[in-house]
Structure 1
Amino acid sequence: MSTAIGRDELISRVGRADSPHRLLSTLATQLRRVVPYDAAVWRSTDPETGMITSPIFAENVEDHSCAVYWQYELFTEKINLFRDLALAPVPVASLWETTGGEPERSSLYRGFLAPRGVHDELRAVLRVDGRPHGYVSLFREKGRAEFNTGERRFLEDLGTPIARLLRAYAKQRPEPSDDALTGTGLLLFDAAGALVSANDEARRYLEEMPEGPASLTALGIRVPLWVHGTAMRARAIAEERGGDTARIRMRTRTGRWLVCHASCLREADGRVGVSAVIIERAPISDVTPLVVQAYELSERELEVTQRVARGLSTSGISEELHLSPHTVRDHIKAIFEKLGVSSRGELVGQLFTEYYEPVSRSSTGRRG
């Protein structure tokens, strides 16, 4: 089987997954047949901030180790950083190649990989339209050959198709439910990253999180890596170690959209103190861009859609965007085809209502 055929077949099989978590697990199973590895971590990312979000799928890596790995990424590592790869012409790199066969130059290798018997790491950013939708870390143990050029290129060729598939899951609507998550969840992490306090709302939100690597805290609460990672990112920002926001959008087990953001406080003497993490329902303004990207609307189509949502007529949109009425109608037709709707009301309901406020199980009316 040639590499090209293997790639197409792999993408076809992965594309049949019914959820992003299933996609990652299927991708892992299929990729291992072409690019052998001993352990891996597959992470979804928020395309706006590049921060890890749900879901995350780990293979042969302990939950606690996933958090330790990410601490190196945020605080000490300088080589092959994901945020750098996200902007690089080629968003794939191996530790062995980048260091010229001297992986000990990497703090991650010295403190995390080598003690666990890892010989080489191949990492990649899955991106489409310039936005990252996932991070991949593949590990090979000592005694095995380092990742080669062909394997790196195979993973590179998968990047955009897989990112497009991950992006498309934003089209999945939340499951109907009578139990609405409300209120503001608050968690406090100390300077060492340990959870020290959480309110009742935060506990309820955490109970609705999907499966994935999590830390069991002294409070008896399991904190998913993507939530813990937001707290760590806030601390890194406070220590001026890159980035300017600690914020992600994430989904519950039933598909409801939440936003998680964090800020690091300082003590009276200026030292970094606790990190406060807030979890709450995502506003419509946060959800809509993800859904629009999932339907692959162009920038102009998005501009037209926004004005349709405001109730502007074809002539009103034409005047505001300096387009002919004929061109506006063409854009609206293309938008309808992409979203599978036949009226402006359906369009507004699908993009701005159904993904945010699904009907309850007890409701018998039509959505939207």
Structure 2
Amino acid sequence: MFAEASRYLRRLIPYDAAVWRATDPVTGLMTAPIRAENLDDEGCAVYWGCELFTEEVNLFRDLARAEVPVASLRESTGGLPTRSMLYHDFMRPRGLDDELRAVLRVGGRPRGHISLFRSKGRSAFDPADARLVEGLVTPLAKRLRSFAQPVPESLTDPPTSAEHGPGLLLFDARGTLISVNDDARQYLEDLPDGPSTATALGVRVPAWIHSTATQARAIAQDRGRGTARVRTRTRAGRWLVCHASCLREAGGALGASAVVIEPAKASEIVPLIAEAYELSDRELEITQYVARGLPTGEIAKQLFLSPHTVRDHIKAVFEKVGVSSRGELVGRLFTEHYAPLAERRIVRVVDN
């Protein structure tokens, strides 16, 4: 999707480099997949270091809440991009002279980021460029949201991630990977391709894991808000959660940042899948009661609704999810991603 959108957009708005990122809709942090065009891997840490620690212009977290979630660097700085640390530390060393960035959002939640760059010597992005990108924000966000729907073909793939315990990666204050366990190595192998950094430990660390570790350090320094937590999917379609925290040494000074990767719980994934099917809050609430096995009359009593209204909601849910029974509904939303994992953990015995 990113590649197709980029080909289309480049014909309308010429640019020299770009980054397309998916984001976790709860934390707004970037996650896989990421598409980087004409940019080196080494710059990612610099970019997010500016975003989280020093930048004051066009922050993604501010654009996510802005009336118009699109802005250009030169326009926002009154033609003086040197006011931006991103320009100083990331753009100018790479010959880039302007950035047009956007937050892809729908339903008040960020689903992705776009960063478009023009090189020195090109004209700056103008308001017409920004308006064109603004028109793409919601359609692209809806498409990103839809990718949370279950991938049936993945159910036959070996659930390699399910066989491992939590993966652990430690990063020093400069963002250098200093330790990694074997479980983390396996998780990294299962992740989709994207911008990553080579390490002395023989593994490549995806850019979004680096940014999650950086976010944890920013929070520990009171420079960031929220949590350093994102969800992502393996190439086989399995959901993982990645969360980070900054450790403290004996004297209280900030130490290494620890990043943990592990299979996501159903409670963390069901809301994403429900949003992918565009279920309303009421429809999701009723679906959760259905999953618990409550009959229509009991659901109506719990929610102070008429049985007829509950049946109408269930019918609407069936149509959106593409199922025809309660069992299919529960399987689609709650079971499909976890059935292989549960099966592998069953101990079967036969009494003689």
In the aligned structure 1, how far is the partner of 2:241 from the partner of 2:315?
32
The equivalent residue for 1:101 is: 79
Residue 208 (structure 1) aligned to one of 180, 190, 200: 190
Please state how far the C-alpha of 1:299 moved relative to its aligned partner.
Answer: 0.7
Instruction: Report if aligned partners of 1:177, 1:358 keep a CA contact under 8 Å in 2.
Output: no
Instruction: Report if aligned partners of 1:128, 1:163 keep a CA contact under 8 Å in 2.
Output: yes
RMSD: 1.4
Residue 132 (structure 1) aligned to one of 110, 116, 136: 110
- Post-superposition CA distance 1:35-80 (Å, at most 9, x none): 1100001110000000000000000001111222111111111100
Q: TM-score, normalised by structure 1?
A: 0.90
In the aligned structure 2, how far is the partner of 1:191 from the partner of 1:359?
36
Residue 180 (structure 1) aligned to one of 160, 163, 169: 160
SS of the residue aligned with 1:262? Answer: strand
The equivalent residue for 1:344 is: 326
The equivalent residue for 1:167 is: 145
SS of the residue aligned with 2:12? Answer: coil
The equivalent residue for 1:320 is: 302
Unaligned 5+ runs, structure 1: 1-22, 363-368
Matched, 1:42 2:10: no
State the identity as a percent: 62
In the aligned structure 2, how far is the partner of 1:58 from the partner of 1:178?
29
The equivalent residue for 1:261 is: 243
The equivalent residue for 1:141 is: 119
Please state how far the C-alpha of 1:179 moved relative to its aligned partner.
Answer: 4.1
In the aligned structure 1, how far is the partner of 2:232 from the partner of 2:45?
18
Please state how far the C-alpha of 1:239 moved relative to its aligned partner.
Answer: 0.7
SS of the residue aligned with 1:32? Answer: helix
In the aligned structure 2, how far is the partner of 1:145 from the partner of 1:211?
33
In the aligned structure 2, how far is the partner of 1:32 from the partner of 1:305?
42
Residue 228 (structure 2) aligned to one of 246, 253, 268: 246
The equivalent residue for 1:32 is: 10
In the aligned structure 2, how far is the partner of 1:73 from the partner of 1:253?
28
Instruction: Report if aligned partners of 1:125, 1:134 keep a CA contact under 8 Å in 2.
Output: yes
Matched, 1:290 2:301: no
Unaligned 5+ runs, structure 2: 345-352
**Structure 1 segments of 4+ aligned residues over 4 angstroms from their partners:** none
In the aligned structure 1, how far is the partner of 2:280 from the partner of 2:319?
13
Instruction: Report if aligned partners of 1:287, 1:356 keep a CA contact under 8 Å in 2.
Output: no
SS of the residue aligned with 2:45? Answer: helix
In the aligned structure 2, how far is the partner of 1:300 from the partner of 1:289?
12
Residue 310 (structure 1) aligned to one of 289, 292, 301: 292
Alignment CA distance shift 1:68-1:261 (3 Å) = same
Instruction: Report if aligned partners of 1:176, 1:359 keep a CA contact under 8 Å in 2.
Output: no
Residue 136 (structure 2) aligned to one of 131, 143, 158: 158
Give aligned pairs, total: 339
The equivalent residue for 1:83 is: 61
SS of the residue aligned with 2:156? Answer: coil
SS of the residue aligned with 1:351? Answer: helix
Give the letter for the 1:227 counterpart: I
Please state how far the C-alpha of 1:270 moved relative to its aligned partner.
Answer: 2.1
In the aligned structure 2, how far is the partner of 1:172 from the partner of 1:141?
40
Give the letter for the 2:334 counterpart: F
In the aligned structure 1, how far is the partner of 2:181 from the partner of 2:38?
33
In the aligned structure 1, how far is the partner of 2:176 from the partner of 2:258?
12
Please state how far the C-alpha of 1:244 moved relative to its aligned partner.
Answer: 2.5
Instruction: Report if aligned partners of 2:155, 2:336 keep a CA contact under 8 Å in 1.
Output: no
SS of the residue aligned with 2:11? Answer: coil
In the aligned structure 2, how far is the partner of 1:109 from the partner of 1:90?
22
